Structure 1
């Protein structure tokens, strides 16, 4: 007897359909599982055998051949357990409604007693079921709310056991599609554990981060230890614009594939990722024999914070160049080429010198100019050029630490950021980008009109500082963002002046 069930596998952050074919014929075991199955898939028969017996079913005693089609694409993971078990029941004619069985996209890991455990990648699978017009998707109960965010039109059935799944397809047990209240999910979108009102002093740094959030600019903070660089970076997501539904879906897909949702149906707050400086290049941008997203993709539509930037290995930092420019990561392997999303705000922090006290008036720096230069040269010029804003974060004064004046909360800053972003969305309507930092060189002439005084100031700065062409475009983009925060259609001299101040590494030499 022959039967087949439709399941899915992951490639990158997307799912593709896999047909699980079972043929039971004459002969005695061993059973064969073909179709480029990896380790966890090959072990599925042992789990399925125990799950069937403990759920009151018989495991075939005749020879069985299982094919995972397409047979030339590698499959991994344990999500094929449930479709394999149901397919075996259909091939034995225990499960008789095969037409209904093929109408659903099915996946789930089986415990030995027949329970169904959670899996990775439920959201990409649900999106596949919707686009391929399946009647619905059946998956573990704990993943059902995650898959249900795709909305109405495709049934999302969460099951807890093999017996429950079998009874549904036999018409013995009705199952209701899992509802998800997106209004409630987005009602919690702006709830963060930290707030800018907790930051003492550092008004210039807070202003620079507000500009960065308004235009989507990358930031480098330079200051002595304990000046608040990490504290500021952790609070940056709280002033970023509220996530749209499309952004939330894209971000949730990446976290779903990595199994990092922790029970959440949808990620509605901006992610904040802070990898340690010992991370490898594959850990940062993704990779491996079977490529997986890295920290950059996990920070998609959020903040990637690199603390102690010069301590990262140089080859690790250099792989950031392409993602920062293109907002995506392309990884090529023999098996094919994968693209991961990487639209992130890079926020980095570093000391001004190896000892950390080069700019601190309260401590004496013990570093020689050569040592300082060597320390800073760990960050290449091309990478620095891709960071729009360089801001100094001095040590906090005692009077600022003890000041009891109420500071501006993140909500008030976010309102200004949202207004600036709304102006940018209107300006770039119909274009493939939505914020100033993403403008192409060809768009600068049209959208970055500078008043005469600003032109002269910018020319003087370029000639004296010897800025590169990329640094020049960064200043224009930041000037445009500052003007948007002021509600100004044109870029004035004071907007340019403030933008130039945010290139501190171009202005200082040890």
Structure 2
């Protein structure tokens, strides 16, 4: 007898419809799984046999062949145990029913027939929505939020008997009590209110948050570069439900635990990290730091200490918002839309231009240190900040410092203006240049002034575009419908070309 049910395979974050086909024939006992299974999928045979025997089913005197289609895609992990077991029972006439092709199954079996959650289950469930799956059976994972995919009916099951019962028309009580069980709390990141001084730098970070602009900070040790970067996620808009699920999916695929928070992710790898850990890779490519920072922030402290090869690897994801990893066994694409923050000292000793410490570096050493950042990488930064130590006697007399919640409210309003203008959730830092100039054209006078300034100071075409993007964001924060003259001059200053 032959039977087939639907499951979902993964190729990175991309899911594809997978058919689990089972053929059973009377004959010598055998059990084969074909369709490029990895070791975990091959071991499903033993788990399925033990689970079915625990439920009273026998497989003696049967020659069983399971085909995972499409056969040219490599299959990973144990989450196909449940669809293989259901399809096998249908093939043996133990389940006498027709299961629609729009019904999918996911989950790993224990020897007693219980169903366990596995890594990669969340991205597979999100792929089910795109693939047109109408109903999905999967185990409930208390570490994840209860899924609400609207067009997909999620049925949480705890054991194989639950699946069989529900297919037969029985009611299954929900496995989670309420949404409060999976609510997400904040993190222990610094608040903007804790930063003393640096008013202009905080304003620049507000602009970066509103338009998703990349920032390079230069300054001596202890001037507050790491503190500013560490507090930056607290002024970013909270993750939407869709964005949160995407972020958790990437953490699942990389086998990292994601904190239960709606604050955008913040990744801060050490400068000794390899290119593979930053970009992603391996024999079967896993997400790297740039993908774990998706929808959030990637901060490279002491960026000059990273290898030049590793930094140059960032050029493609910074431009495209994704990374494609080619390996012998697979070619995987992961999202990598992050705000890039970096910090470095002005020279090897860190005190060039300081009025407090004497710099011991020669001009040649300073130039070699700055050249560790290639021109193409430097050109990716929209905002260049030169920081100096704070004078506490003056800083403590400043007016009341704004908390992150107030700054975030202004950032939210600026982003909403951008979303309404472009008709999609894209910010000034990422929208195509054609759309940017079509929706916010410069006046003839502004174009002439910018061209004269560019000719005088040698601005590249990319620099001119960055200035227009920054000016548009500054105008959005000021609730201006058009790009103002003042915002253009402020953008030139922020770009560090003064």
* TM-score normalised over the length of structure 2: 0.88
CA shift digits 1:110-147 (9 cap, x unpaired): 23333322112333333444445545211112179646
2:222 aligned residue: 226
Residue 442 of structure 2 corresponds to residue 449 of structure 1: yes
Confirm or deny: 8 A CA contact 2:189 2:230 kept in the other structure.
no
2:305 aligned residue: 311
d(CA) in 2 for partners of 1:39 and 1:19? 19
1:368 aligned residue: 362
d(CA) in 1 for partners of 2:244 and 2:177? 14
1:63 aligned residue: 63
d(CA) in 2 for partners of 1:232 and 1:58? 64
Residues 43-62 of structure 1: pairs in structure 2 closer than 5 A: 43-62=43-62
Instruction: Summarize the Cα distance change of 1:185–1:459 in structure 2 as closer, same or farther, 3 Å threshold.
Output: farther
Mean Cα displacement is larger for which, 189-198 or 391-400? 189-198
CA shift digits 1:359-417 (9 cap, x unpaired): 43222222111111111111111111111001022223333676696410111111222
1:157 aligned residue: 155
Residue 389 of structure 2 corresponds to residue 389 of structure 1: no
2:122 aligned residue: 123
CA shift digits 1:461-501 (9 cap, x unpaired): 53454332211221222122222222334444432332222
1:288 aligned residue: 282
Residue 148 of structure 2 corresponds to residue 166 of structure 1: no
Could you tell me which runs of 5 or more consecutive residues in structure 2 were left unpaired when the two chains were aligned.
none
Confirm or deny: 8 A CA contact 2:5 2:20 kept in the other structure.
yes
1:407 aligned residue: 401
Shift of 1:175: 1.6
1:9 aligned residue: 9
Instruction: Summarize the Cα distance change of 1:453–1:258 in structure 2 as closer, same or farther, 3 Å threshold.
Output: closer
d(CA) in 1 for partners of 2:62 and 2:446? 87
Q: 1:484 aligns with which of 473, 476, 490?
A: 476
d(CA) in 2 for partners of 1:441 and 1:78? 45
1:90 aligned counterpart, secondary structure: helix
Residues 303-382 of structure 1: pairs in structure 2 closer than 5 A: 303-333=297-327, 337-382=331-376
CA shift digits 1:35-88 (9 cap, x unpaired): 000121112212223333344443445332221111111101110122223333
Confirm or deny: 8 A CA contact 2:324 2:334 kept in the other structure.
yes
1:109 aligned residue: 108
1:113 aligned counterpart, secondary structure: coil
2:489 aligned residue: 497
Residues 418-457 of structure 1: pairs in structure 2 closer than 5 A: 418-429=412-423, 434-443=426-435, 445-446=437-438, 447-449=440-442, 452=445, 456=449
Confirm or deny: 8 A CA contact 1:156 1:178 kept in the other structure.
no
Instruction: Summarize the Cα distance change of 1:185–1:358 in structure 2 as closer, same or farther, 3 Å threshold.
Output: farther
1:148 aligned counterpart, secondary structure: coil
CA shift digits 1:134-179 (9 cap, x unpaired): 452111121796462212x4321222223333333344x4225678
2:98 aligned counterpart, secondary structure: helix
d(CA) in 1 for partners of 2:217 and 2:443? 27
Instruction: Summarize the Cα distance change of 1:404–1:51 in structure 2 as closer, same or farther, 3 Å threshold.
Output: farther
Instruction: Summarize the Cα distance change of 1:317–1:58 in structure 2 as closer, same or farther, 3 Å threshold.
Output: same
Kindly tell me the number of residue pairs found equivalent between the two proteins: 497
Instruction: Summarize the Cα distance change of 1:244–1:169 in structure 2 as closer, same or farther, 3 Å threshold.
Output: closer
Confirm or deny: 8 A CA contact 2:303 2:343 kept in the other structure.
yes
1:235 aligned residue: 231
d(CA) in 2 for partners of 1:51 and 1:181? 30
Instruction: Summarize the Cα distance change of 1:199–1:138 in structure 2 as closer, same or farther, 3 Å threshold.
Output: same
